Amino acid sequence: MDGVRIPQLRTILFPPKGTQKSALREWVETIVVAGLIALVIRTYILQIFYIPSGSMIPTLHPKDRIIGLMFTFRFRLPQRNDIVIFKYPEDPHKNFIKRLIGLPGDELRIRDGDVYINGILLQPQGYQVVRDHSYFGPVTVPGGQYLVLGDNRPNSADSRVWGFLPAKNLMGTGWIRIWPPQRLGFYQ
């Protein structure tokens, strides 16, 4: 092996001044930058979520995949009927998705499956729910917290089971269903 020298890793990663970057260093830089961009997008802009249960039927079905907008609540307050993605209050390592129904200060009660907010019957606008014949409340939603319900009321563990959702647990809103392909599209 006369005349053949194996370059040192330091020379490959950090070539002397005045020389071009090595191909390996350019690859490493590209991968690091792409990784950082992906991390920022996933944390602050868009994230894909898998729907594991039927608690949001008929809006979302088990095995659906949706894109969540992670920046929504940086620009506006949560609104009634938003489909919200949040850290489950009893285990913050789990993400849940439900419909936001009660805002801070609202008095909420459920009578024979009908939801009343401040004494007025809530009429679903642009979405359907699977009704049950439950009774709940009256409760007043505390400041800095929300009340969320699944659209499939008889089969949803939601605020009726584990209590109010702290505002700090809100992550974003559901935006678009991307799986399965035949159900691709926006939902309410």
Q: What is the pLDDT of residue 14?
A: 66
User: How many C-beta atoms lie closer than 10 Å to residue 44's C-beta?
Assistant: 12
Contacts of 12 (CB under 8 A, 6+ apart): 22, 24, 25
Mean pLDDT by 10 residues, the chain (188 residues): 57 63 81 89 86 94 94 94 95 95 97 95 90 93 97 94 97 92 82
Active site residues: 55, 98
What's residue 2's pLDDT? 55
Whether 118 and 106 have beta carbons less than 8 Å apart is answered as yes
Q: How many residues does the chain have?
A: 188
Pick the CATH number of 45-186 from 3.40.50.300, 2.60.40.1180, 3.30.1360.70, 2.10.109.10: 2.10.109.10
Burial class from Cβ neighbours inside 10 Å (0-12, 13-18, 19+) for residue 56 reads buried
The three-state secondary structure class of 110 is strand
Q: Determine the pLDDT at residue 58.
A: 93
The residue extents of the domains of the chain are: 9-43, 45-186
